[in-house]
Structure 1
């Protein structure tokens, strides 16, 4: 690609903010638009891969064809099909959904800014980069380029079959390959938008954070990014999480094909995307356990258990910022465990934990109804998110020379009454007013915390350290070492604390190591 056609004078566009901006990338011209009063330009719905339709369904993402006319990049593209009907996407769902969005400060293109690449959550079953929570305007005002993108979900993104293996030597992780393709697109094109292709931070929440962990552990991402952020997630393992073994994924895929009456890959590709999507096995209302299609150890994108990769220091060696929330179980709890008396709670613990029951009840007491409820919530949150996030933090810090920064989000207010799973997302993006989902307006305290978190996150993207040496008023975020007060609590007060619930996570980890782990994500999240 020649350099000259790609240099766009963003300063002239900023000076005439009422005029839509036009710039050139390798595949053609884009027309974006200024964000009202923000000094930010946005370019939405940019294709980063060819439409994965027809014969390209269940194949690696292919290069996007060039376009001849100026592409209207003022509106979000289509969302990928969601495998969860109760979470409809914000834009119409289409199989042709592989697009991304860029927000950039309207600066001279010679000034290269750090880039934050967001990967949305949703259990690999639902989600969209067009969610209002993920608008990058406010965060971009902090001096970074923000990128969000779509990736294939559910069966269209993660179906594995032996016949598909024959086509490409692997199958099932097409959604992860979409993520890698999007990051490669950013690395190749982001300089045109004023971003630094050598200063990329990948960043996600929930399944997006699990994606970050898998990408850190993948040999296909070497040199693609320089930093990583994981909010409420890190990686799953095949024994106790949603990550499936090679054989499990292909057995599920074969059963799915038989359910649809398909005898070949050609038969499957002749079905409409709606037929594929509607036949998916996942419904959050009745089955929040990940019995649906999700990443698998395909021996290519994910060659082995990610936990082993983290422990052996074979991950991408980059600075890491990661953490979890106090109420991670809240979205899952009502479906995950039945309401029970303290007696039933203790009896169940005895059945599940055997000789470890006494220690379990020390860590998760159930002497009263209140304690039993609190412990059930804590256990599910630990199983689903917190323990494995802590495990990744600890492993990466011990095995890597790169810094690790850990947080524990506990903030509550009338605007945000519980520190539930994903409660921090709006605070990090700075979208409290427009995307709160709350009947209350944010208070000055809410806005102040959001600003602090935005500053920590963007400082990390800029330098690999959330602290700013020039600002001594902000609470210092210590580097995680596994000793002392090495977590930052993001609550009503921001302070350094000792790792929260460390003994619980170590207890669960010890059961895994000795092959005696009695409860899996799938078991723990079934509708009882």
Structure 2
């Protein structure tokens, strides 16, 4: 059965789909939310889409951004013409407008899309929410920065803003409530959500946010020296100029095939590999002002938190139990386990590596390795360190700072669910490193929010696994509905709000268990090290809070 809606740009015809997990929903795919970013629009902020005459079919996905997926398929796929979104609604004419959830996909700003091969709506829309997924420009196409008016950077983030503005303008036609929008994302998608919480371009476009396994203050979320990076790429492509205007013309003339899978090293550790997580080499930048052009982000992430996130926005954030299994793969798998036992450099936090001398780095590394090695096997030592350094500390640090400096409502979680839906550890080929002991790897939480259609995983509605799916999707959709993730009494537990005094969080497993002071020992370890190594920089929560309080006092 077909479904029709009238939006600002024309008439869309989608379809009514039976949900295998109960009920049905209206599906509208491949809706343009901006003009194709091609020709002179390459690297520029997105422009409004062109209206159309007659009825536009919305039963097929639009092209994904041109990309290479290094984990799944090395064959380039997609198109520069990729700014499309998808809307799934359980009721187009609901008596009461439905809450809206807008998903921002991860993939390191290198790969991914909003398509339902991974991010299908079936688990979420059964809880009476409207789901929106979308594509945005990636890698060089989305994040090249030359610090010029023509190529100021952050084009991919401005695509995300354009999608959120489209939602505000049109979602009521799909039964959604533009006044009740929750944005959520995982990994670099989570960091994107975090940036939207402070970006002036995003203010007023959403009411709530769910930040999964990544924040803007994680060391990999924002890059420095973007023009140097662009120059290195041009040299890699055979062009010797470092003049920004000449580089702009050069990159606009390049075939799209030259602008994916780009790895121009700028630092020696990038050339060697193995010393850090595979950092996105084209990512969010601190953007310069050019006339009246809108800037997505300017400044330093931790300093931005001194100003605070957008007033009144409620936030869930958290991480999975064994994030670092993914990091070990990015660092080199088996080889990295062997090398880390020989070289202390593997245990130097990135903030200290970039800001401290070799003596301080080695002292920090010895302290960290001794902490993690107590009673653990070598793979577990490295995995636990990678988990905390690459993801968990950034999440906890963000939560503590924001709860101290904002009156907003915050929730924190630790995700521990284990089942056949935890695909990443086995998919990355690292399971036997840990003796096939079940792990909850980075991105393993996605299987409890989305069907992951391309993996052909069976789902038994009577299984323990489905109970976990039901719990997770209820927590997320309850929060989207009213700001209280455990408003549904059927969950049998209350998720306490996070405070700096109690540091409350929820452990999400087969059972839902409230607790407090997550990873207390690891946090104290890092705070102690940072207070010694970076006493005059924003490297630690303790320093940040001491100085931010002083700065607030001086301002007042």
- TM interval, shorter chain, is 0.7 to 0.9
- Tell me which residue corresponds to 2:162: 181
Confirm or deny that 1:321 pairs with 2:298. no
Asked whether the 8 Å contact 1:90–1:131 carries over to 2, the reply is no
Shift of the 42–358 alpha-carbon distance from structure 1 to 2, 3 Å rule, reads same
Distance 1:223 1:277 in 2: 33
Within the candidate set 498, 501, 518, 2:519 is matched to 501
Distance 1:209 1:435 in 2: 22
Residue 292 (structure 1) shift = 1.9
Distance 2:460 2:309 in 1: 45
- Tell me which residue corresponds to 1:412: 418
Calculate the TM-score normalised by the size of structure 2: 0.80
Match runs of 1:167-316 below 5 Å: 167=150, 171-236=152-217, 240-245=219-224, 248-262=225-239, 263-277=246-260, 279=262, 281=264, 289-290=278-279, 292-299=281-288, 300-316=295-311
Distance 1:23 1:196 in 2: 15
Asked whether the 8 Å contact 1:33–1:42 carries over to 2, the reply is yes
Asked whether the 8 Å contact 2:161–2:202 carries over to 1, the reply is yes
SS of 1:182's equivalent in the other structure is: helix
Residue 256 (structure 1) shift = 1.6
Distance 2:205 2:459 in 1: 41
Distance 2:457 2:493 in 1: 28
Distance 2:527 2:498 in 1: 19
Distance 1:440 1:194 in 2: 29
Shift of the 510–438 alpha-carbon distance from structure 1 to 2, 3 Å rule, reads farther
Calculate the TM-score normalised by the size of structure 1: 0.84
Within the candidate set 101, 104, 124, 1:139 is matched to 124
Confirm or deny that 1:102 pairs with 2:79. no
Residue 243 (structure 1) shift = 1.0
Match runs of 1:429-448 below 5 Å: 429=450, 431=451, 434=453, 436=455, 444-448=463-467
In structure 2, stretches of 5+ residues that fail to align are 240-245, 289-294, 349-358, 423-437, 540-556
Distance 1:118 1:355 in 2: 42
Match runs of 1:436-515 below 5 Å: 436=455, 444-468=463-487, 471=489, 474-484=492-502, 486-509=504-527, 511-512=529-530, 515=533
Residue 492 (structure 1) shift = 2.7
Confirm or deny that 1:360 pairs with 2:378. no
- Tell me which residue corresponds to 1:9: none
Residue 187 (structure 1) shift = 0.6
In structure 1, stretches of 5+ residues that fail to align are 1-17, 521-528
Distance 2:387 2:528 in 1: 17
SS of 1:455's equivalent in the other structure is: helix
Distance 2:301 2:123 in 1: 34
Distance 1:176 1:343 in 2: 39
Confirm or deny that 1:115 pairs with 2:100. yes
Shift of the 396–377 alpha-carbon distance from structure 1 to 2, 3 Å rule, reads same
Between 219-228 and 341-350, the greater mean CA deviation after superposition: 341-350
Asked whether the 8 Å contact 2:118–2:454 carries over to 1, the reply is yes
